[in-house]
Amino acid sequence: MDNIMDKEKKRFFLLKKALFLFTTFSFISLGAETLTLDECIAWAKANNLQLLVSRMAVEKARKDLILARADYYPTLGLSSSYRYSSSSAPEERDWLSSGRGSFATGLSLQYPLYKGGAIRTGEKIAEIKLKIAEENYRQTENEVIYSLKQVFFKILQMAEQISLMEEVLKRRQENLILIRLNYNVGRENEPDVKQAAANLEETEYEYLKAQKNLSLAKKELAQILNRPGEEIEIFYEDREKSFPSLDSLLKEAEARRPEMIVAQKNREIAQNQVKLAKSAYFPTLSFSSSYGWQGSKITDQKDNWGLGVNLSLPLFNGFATKAKVAEAKISLKQEDWQMSNLRLKIRQEVEEAYTNWQLSEKNVAVRKKMLAVVRSAYQLTKLQYEQGRTTYFFLQQKEGELTQAENNYLNALYNFRLAIATLEKVLGRSN
């Protein structure tokens, strides 16, 4: 009997040692680094490829704003020319000698004084588009961080499941040893021994598969962080997270959600598009000035200058302005409807996420209590089996219930963590 116990213990020890050496060697060779959730989020904000692309859109909007403001400034130009003219036809011999050349150089200044409010409206539209680009970036950031949290908590769950499987392996190893001892003294039958051995082998397979899945999940995390090929370890401590009332969260989501802010800004653009279309009804006023030199020789040129004010009043353009104003008003109405629809969608998402958070929090507490009850029942059944007061069938049943209860608790914990992340996402909280 001692040989049987030693043999099984050695087999279990070799399995754990092989897995330990494999994972340890992988971490050392790839330079594993341990990161917290906050560190992962900070790294993703700075290096995620999707965010880098989105950041370029913000920079482009800033340049467009500079371009829109350029209309406030005058335009200044320098021109220089030479012109030769003759009274004779080009085919005549003396057309070159009878001609006369002239040089001209000048500076011109154009400055718009009034365009019916079009310049200021164009600037406001560019400012709003910059804000939209910034909110689109924040929305992308929220989505990236949510994806990161999903992967992070998945890695955490897998690591916890691997630790659980180690306990299950140990537990089923001990049960196999125990049933074989009872089989040797005639207290158990061979099918039960084979069943216990099969249960152990199944757990060993699940253990190896979990290790592989954990490695794949870590690669997924490295991809989000833009650190491909690196092995990353994580560290996390559950922190108590509380949320105010649902009404407060609904107000927060409407004020904070990037999509809602973008919708509001699009409505502002539509309002300014109406103003821009109406600006075509008003006259335009501009100031111009020029100063130049002109003469037949470069060294002998006379200067001249001029000032002018230009007024242009639109009288009729085939009702084009009226049509543009009507079109802009329709776009404004569409934005109003889209905002109303988005407001309802956000409300539904927040209510659903808030309910899921409450239920998942309650589920964790329930699963924790159930785990304590099932663990006590298993320990009692195992003691009875060791004393010969029950059969392996009942021990196996209780051990299976314990394993299921442990997995249920880990799943409840994962769902609770993810429920918090989901609620934060629908509220528009980036971190």
pLDDT of residue 26: 43
- Look at residue 17 in the predicted model and tell me its pLDDT: 47
Q: What percent of the chain has pLDDT over 70?
A: 84
Average pLDDT in the 213-229 region?
A: 93
Q: How far is CA 64 from the centre of its chain?
A: 25
8-state DSSP, 272: H
Widest pairwise Cα distance in the chain: 136
Q: Are 414 and 424 in contact (CB under 8 A)?
A: no
Instruction: Write out the two tokens for 271.
Output: 């309002």
Task: Strands of 224-380 (E only): list them.
Answer: 232-235, 284-297, 300-312
22-26, 186-190, 375-379, range with the lowest pLDDT: 22-26
Most confident of 96-100, 171-175, 358-362: 358-362
Which pLDDT value is given to residue 103? 67
Give residue 287's pLDDT: 74
Q: How confident is the model at residue 50 (pLDDT cuts 50, 70, 90)?
A: very high
pLDDT tens for 6-47 read: 555 555 445 554 444 444 444 433 456 899 999 999 999 999
What is the mean pLDDT of the segment spanning 364-387? 94
Tens-place pLDDT, residues 122-167: 889 899 999 999 999 999 999 999 999 999 999 999 999 999 999 9
- The CA-atom distances, in angstroms, between 407 and each of 158, 210, 217, 249, 412 are 11, 13, 19, 32, 8
pLDDT of residue 48: 95
Is the predicted pLDDT of residue 288 greater than 70, yes or no? Answer: yes
Of the two residues 82 and 215, the one the predictor is more confident about is 215
281 close to 328: Cβ distance less than 8 angstroms: no
pLDDT grade for 192, boundaries at 50, 70 and 90: confident
pLDDT, position 30: 44
Q: How many other β-carbons are positioned within 10 Å of the β-carbon of residue 116?
A: 18
pLDDT at 23: 45
DSSP character for 237?
-
Q: What pLDDT shows up at residue 293? A: 67
Average pLDDT, rounded, for the chain: 84
- Model confidence at 315, in pLDDT bands (50, 70, 90)? confident
The residue-averaged pLDDT of 165-171 equals 92
Q: What is the pLDDT of residue 367?
A: 96
Query: Which sign does the torsion angle of CA 130, 132, 133, 138 carry?
Result: positive
pLDDT at 119 over 60: yes
**pLDDT of res. 308:** 73
Threshold 0.95, pTM exceeds: no
Per the model's pLDDT, the better-predicted residue between 225 and 30 turns out to be 225
Confidence band of 299 (pLDDT split at 50, 70, 90):
low
Which position has the higher pLDDT, 29 or 360? 360
Burial (Cβ within 10 Å: 0-12, 13-18, ≥19) of residue 343 = middle
Average pLDDT over residues 251-280: 89
263, exposed or middle or buried, with CB in 10 Å at 0-12, 13-18, 19+? Answer: buried
Question: Amino acid identity of 282?
Answer: F
Alpha-carbon distance 357 to 217, whole Å? 24
Give the model's pLDDT for residue 352. Answer: 97
Amino acid at the residue 172 = R
